[in-house]
Amino acid sequence: MYFIHIKINKEYFYNGGIDLKKLYIVIIGLVICAIGIVVFFKFKNNSLDETLKEAKSMNSYQLVCDMEMTQNDELKSYEVKVDYLKKDKQKYYRVELYDKSLNQSQIIIKNKKGVYVLTPTLNQMFKFQSDWPYNNSQVYLIQSILDDILDDEERNLVSDDNGYIFTTSVNYPNNRKLVKQIVTFDKKLNLKKVSVVDENDFCYY
């Protein structure tokens, strides 16, 4: 079993975008079974689509969250900090993953010169010629989540009294078992939860 849970502690959004008060992200190597869902249909709501596009176009944000990852029987806990800035058509990212058990951080930086991975406690730095974060889906990056929704012409939407639930395809080339994600918004379009699942459609809760 593969499981990741992310809970946002703080987040700040500037220059547009929707107000995402709380974000819970779950990645499970199982598939979701929908509970209490009334109607499944293809998403064709232009006003909602435009709102998501507006959120995607935000110029900067900062996100802080706690992440728990369980693979088989091992539980790992992280604090994740994401900084994003778009300036002069260039996009900058800084993602820090702090491993609470090892008391050690790994930092990913994307700037004009490339992609860097740093481990400060080990005094290590590696530079990569990489398309990160665009080479696959990224569960803790808002743009990636919205891209997966907006780019999937076959996406489905469930709408009920609590909000909206999208089912979209995902791109995880290093884990082909993960084939789709479930993205949950409340009625005010606050992002609540993201689940990435395999092809067997097992329930995640």
Tens digits of residue pLDDT in 160-196? 889 999 999 999 888 888 888 888 888 888 777 777 7
Which distant-in-sequence residues (6+ apart) come within 8 Å of 171 by Cβ?
Answer: 136, 137, 148
> What are 11's two structure tokens?
């987040």
| Residue 202 falls inside a structural domain | no
Torsion of CA 82, 76, 7, 128, to 10 degrees: 20
Stronger pLDDT, 200 or 105, i.e. the higher one: 105
Over residues 101-142, the pLDDT tens digits come to 899 999 999 999 899 999 999 999 999 878 899 889 988 888
pLDDT, residue 84, reads 93
| Residue 203 falls inside a structural domain | no
| Residue 139 falls inside a structural domain | yes
Contact between residue 105 and residue 121 where contact means Cβ atoms under 8 Å apart: yes
| Residue 145 falls inside a structural domain | yes
Region 51-68: mean pLDDT is 82
Closest CA to 167 of 23, 42, 7: 42
The Cα 152–Cα 59 span in angstroms is 23
Count of domains observed in the chain: 1
Contact between residue 26 and residue 197 where contact means Cβ atoms under 8 Å apart: no
Sign of the Cα torsion 57, 63, 67, 71 reads positive
The Cα 121–Cα 200 span in angstroms is 40
| Residue 166 falls inside a structural domain | yes
| Residue 176 falls inside a structural domain | yes
Q: Which CATH number does the domain housing residue 8 bear?
A: 2.50.20
| Residue 15 falls inside a structural domain | yes
Q: Which amino acid is at 100?
A: K
**Residue 100 structural domain:** 2-197
| Residue 165 falls inside a structural domain | yes
The Cα 36–Cα 64 span in angstroms is 31
